[in-house]
Amino acid sequence: MDIFVQQLINGLTLGAVYAIVALGYTMVYGIIQLINFAHGEVVMIGAMVAFTVINALAAAGLPPLAVVLIGAGCAIPVCMLVGYAMERMAYRPLRLAPRLAPLITAIGVSIILQHLAMLVWSRNVLAFPQIIPITTYSFFGAIITGVQLTILGLCFAMMAGLALLVYRTRLGTAMRATAQNPLVARLMGVDVNRVIAATFIIGAALGAVAGVMVGTYYGVAQYTMGSVLGLKAFAAAVLGGIGNIPGAMVGGLLLGVVEALGAGYIGDLTDLCRYGLGPAASCADGGHFVLFGSNYQDVFAFVVLILVLVFRPSGLLGERVGDRA
Amino acid sequence: MTKNGRYLWAGVALIAVTLLLLPFALSQAGTAWVRIANIALLYVLLALGLNIVVGFAGLLDLGYVAFYAVGAYAYALLASPHFGLHLPFWVVLPIGAAVAALFGVMLGAPTLKLRGDYLAIVTLGFGEIVRIFLNNLSQPVNITRGPQGITGIDPVRIGDIDFSRSDSVLGVVLSGPMKYYYLLLAVMLAIVLVNVRLQNSRIGRAWEAIREDEVAARAMGIDTTAMKLLAFAMGASFGGVAGGMFAAIQGFISPESFVLVESVMVVSMVVLGGMGNIAGVILGAVLLAFVPEILRWTVEPAQHALFGRMLIEPEVIRMLIFGLALVLVMLFRPAGLLPSAVRKRELEQDRAP
């Protein structure tokens, strides 16, 4: 039971970060039906920029929270700029092109960003300096750290903020109008190009914060961290129903929990000795014959993605929509 | 025969003679160059296979390397000391192709009903998953030997000819890589032939219709899901063939050879050359396959001369070139270097009043 609660807490923390990244995918998809492959790289750049600043300030003697905030404060504008630049240069010229075209440029942008990051930061792993004192709280027999609590709180605050932005402001109304029908939105006086650019910028800003959080959580950042994170977040967005903002939040949290519980239990569940099926030689004296260990953790997001696509392609909260050819 | 027809045949004959004599010219510069040519041919095989999926049917497959890996591992497991199996080449290669096609169907069946962009990301994930499995299937039963990879894979043997050794035929000495060159060339010609015949067939036209407008294609009575699945399986099986050849030529494979970068590279080849155009795809594959070699001969010495040390690794430059190629081609020459006839026709029609 302790392990269950512990994995639940770990899963929710990671899931909250997935949700924030998934929001970036889902907002862009909702408006222009483009899978922004490069979004994972934006998250990576956010983490790398923040880590560079944090490492530079680590010795300055500022309070740890201030250091991390300054790091995030530097990462957010950089990512917003990257998000805007890629929309402007790689996606906007192709808005009327066949669907395959922006998808291919998105992959190109993702490769370019990843390798530019490698040029700037080298192949080495950036480590998070030991500035945050580890505080732990006990919670139903499990341990929750201060960092985890902060990440969870911040993620929920950002989700609430985004919900307010989308459902309560003029920009949000314009975004929803553009998502429904760009042509009619334009006729109603919405500057569609500005709205789309704003969507990319907001998504990138969220991605930057997510990058700082995931980096702080794991304690490391590297130029390759974006692609798997991006893939998982996309799976989360599809799980919740792509294009659907509350869906991305639910999908992210759920995926994080599935992944953590899966990684925690798959070893036990696929231990053939438990079922009396394993070869006698390995099962003797309480031995194990584990088919799949926790090193298959990265597979779960993908399995979830496939299952959702097979059984409920519109996701948990999404509506069934036809092809817009 | 018209004058144009005569020029065409003269051109084909010229290319044929060049291709046949190329390994002799290359071996003058060193056997390494013949090996590089073989790698380039392998990429041509891969690009032609992916062209069926991306170029003909318009489905973006970002995990194509998974099928390459499946073919390679099928060959390695059935013809190496690892399991003590030594099945002959002409038995293993079709098995590899069939297993790869099966994987293609398994992956395609749930996703191909959906819109194309889901396929892109699902295939991307699939490529990673296959690699994770190859890396971890050494426990509890050792199937793939994990990151160590499989060594001592049998070379191709057809009758008495062993492709890993030198032979002299009619007084001409043929080294191992040269023999593989001709074998690869033969396989490539077979695949080109299949591609050409497919393109002008009922199936090929159905793919084209799906690529241009799926809803309209369905309205015309095309079973779009079945057709897409067919494209996917066929592309996968060609990937499997290329993988089997790769395993036989290298004699050693490990999960390291089947990373995402390879998928991206093959996609770049197809896009750069011209999606759907066989000659264009071959051109793209050859051009991009030689990029690492060209960089080795230009950028590395240039950096040493200018800065006295290596500032930017050639590997990074290579990837930046691929990324830029994808973006710039899509922005400025969406039909690729050699556009397919259909695309060209469409563009001309658009221009006509």
Render pLDDT for A146-158 as a digit per residue (tens, 0 to 9).
Answer: 889 989 999 999 9
Classify residue B173 by burial, with Cβ atoms within 10 Å: 0-12, 13-18, 19+: exposed
- The rounded mean pLDDT for chain A is 87
Based on C-alpha coordinates, what's the Rg of chain B?
A: 21
Q: Which amino acid is at A200?
A: F
Cβ of B260 within 8 Å of Cβ of A305? The answer is: no
Residues of B in contact with A299 (CB under 8 A): 129, 132
Q: Which domains does chain B have, with CATH numbers?
A: 8-258 (1.10.3470)
pLDDT in tens, A29-63: 988 888 888 999 999 999 999 999 998 888 777 88
Q: What does the DSSP 8-state code read for residue A320?
A: P
Instruction: Name the phi and psi angles at B166, rounded to 5.
Output: -80, 145
Q: Which helix (H) or strand (E) holds A216?
A: helix A192-218
**What pLDDT was estimated at residue B2?**
64
The nearest CA of chain B is from the CA of A224 a distance in Å of: 12
Record: contact B122-A310, CB cut-off 8 A: no
A53/chain B closest Cα distance in angstroms: 23
Q: Kindly report whether the global pTM for this prediction surpasses the value 0.90.
A: no
- Of the candidates B125, B128, B326, which has its C-beta nearest A105's C-beta? B326
Smallest CA–CA distance, residue B325 to chain A, in Å, is 8
**The pLDDT of residue B353 is above 50:** no
Residues of A in contact with B113 (CB under 8 A): 313
Mean local confidence (pLDDT), A268-288: 74
Question: Is pLDDT at B287 greater than 60 in this prediction?
Answer: yes
Q: Which of residues 195-234 of B touch A (CB under 8 A)?
A: 213-216
Q: Which helix (H) or strand (E) holds B178?
A: helix B176-199
- Do the Cβ atoms of B121 and A302 come within 8 Å? no
DSSP B78-137: HEETTTTEE--HHHHHHHHHHHHHHHHHHHHHHHTTS-HHHHHHHHHHHHHHHHHHHHHT
First to last CA, chain B: 34
Is B325 in contact with A97 (Cβ distance < 8 A)?
A: no
* Phi-psi map region of B149: left, alpha, beta (phi>0 left; psi -120 to 50 alpha): left
- Using an 8 Å CB-CB cutoff, list chain B residues near A100: 54, 58, 60, 116, 275
Q: How far is B171 from chain A (nearest CA, A)?
A: 49
Partner A contacted by B332 (CB < 8 A): no
Cβ atoms A106, A33 nearer than 8 A? no
> Is the predicted pLDDT of residue A205 greater than 90, yes or no?
yes
Beta pairing, strands A126-127 & B85-86: unpaired
**Residue B1: predicted pLDDT:** 52
With an 8 Å Cβ cutoff, are A111 and B323 in contact? Answer: yes
What residues contact A73, with CB distance under 8 A and at least 6 apart? none
Query: What are the pLDDT digits (tens) for B32-79?
Result: 888 888 899 999 999 999 999 988 888 888 889 999 999 999 999 888
Q: How far apart are CA B340 and CA B277, in angstroms?
A: 4
Distances (CA, A) of B116 to A34, A182, B60: 11, 21, 7
Cβ-based neighbours of B43, under 8 Å, separated by 6 or more: B265, B266, B269, B285, B286, B288, B289
On whether any CB of chain A is under 8 Å from the CB of B147, the answer is no
The whole-angstrom separation of Cα A262 and Cα A10 is 12
Q: Which of B215, B295, B331, B342 to mutate to probe the A interface, most A CBs <10 Å?
A: B331
Enter the DSSP assignment of A96: T
CA distance B239 to chain A (A): 20
A107's tokens = 């992959």
At A65-112, the pLDDT tens digits run: 888 899 999 999 999 999 999 999 999 998 888 778 888 899 899 999
In the numeric block, which tokens belong to residue A247? 């869906």
Q: Which tokens is A317 given? A: 């909260």
Cβ-defined contact of B117 to A35 (cutoff 8 Å): yes
**Taking all residues of chain B, what is their mean pLDDT, rounded to a whole number?**
84
Q: Which residues contact B25 (CB under 8 A, 6 or more apart)?
A: none
pLDDT digits (tens, 9 = 90+) for A128-139: 887 777 788 887
Which token pair is B347? 């563009």
CB B260 within 8 A of CB B65: yes
Residues B118-141 as b or e (16 or more Cβ within 10 Å = b): bbbbbbbbbbbbbbbbbbbbeebe
CA distance B253 to chain A (A): 21
Mean local confidence (pLDDT), A278-302: 76
